[in-house]
Amino acid sequence: MTGAVVAVSPDSKHSFRKTNQACIRLIPGLGVEGDAHAGATVQHLSRMAVDPTQPNLRQVHLMHAELFDELRELGFAVAPGEMGENITTRGIDLLQLPAGTLLRIGDSAVIEVTGLRTPCVQLDRFQPGLMAAVRGPKSGIMSVVVTEGEIRPGDLVRVELPPPPHQALGRV
């Protein structure tokens, strides 16, 4: 199974939206270089408040561009990076991947899928009703960086499933 990168979007601040860039660099065990959510331990503010020592299973957030197509049909105007994702893809059903799936992106980057993104109230602050529209869950997946590399729009994404039995994604 293969797909492609549509957009890459880091942000050095803990803001909801991320700005599309020409390239991002992934750092093993940390995440997206320069992104506020990069770190070996959890960097999401709500999770830090509970336990700042827990491992960061949310280093890189991926979302499928097909969701934006679906949301447009429902009357929402959402573009890559606007829902906080680092990597927007097309052509891969991210939500159906099992835990432990490796995504080989571009020439060298490898990330491991850890779980589903939990939608938060910030979605409704961005556009009223958006949180309900992405429940189910539809708001993307989270991963950790295994092998460093640069990622650009247009890069291929190759899926490597883990050995069976496959474990469905849970919220992380």
What CATH code is carried by the domain that includes residue 78? 2.40.33.20
pTM confidence score:
0.96
Q: Is residue 89 in a domain?
A: yes
Q: Point out the residues of the chain with pLDDT beneath 50.
A: none
pLDDT at 75 (0 to 100) = 97
pLDDT at 81 (0 to 100) = 96
pLDDT at 16 (0 to 100) = 83
Domain containing residue 69: 2-160
The total number of structural domains that make up the chain: 1
Instruction: Name the nearest CA neighbour of 131 among 83, 69, 60.
Output: 83
Q: Tell the residue number behind the tokens 């709500």, with chain if given.
A: 46
pLDDT at 32 (0 to 100) = 98
Q: Is residue 102 in a domain?
A: yes
- For the chain, the C-alpha Rg in angstroms (whole number) is 15
Q: Is residue 41 in a domain?
A: yes
Q: Is residue 170 in a domain?
A: no
Torsion-angle region of residue 39: left (phi > 0), alpha (psi -120 to 50) or beta? left
Q: Is residue 167 in a domain?
A: no
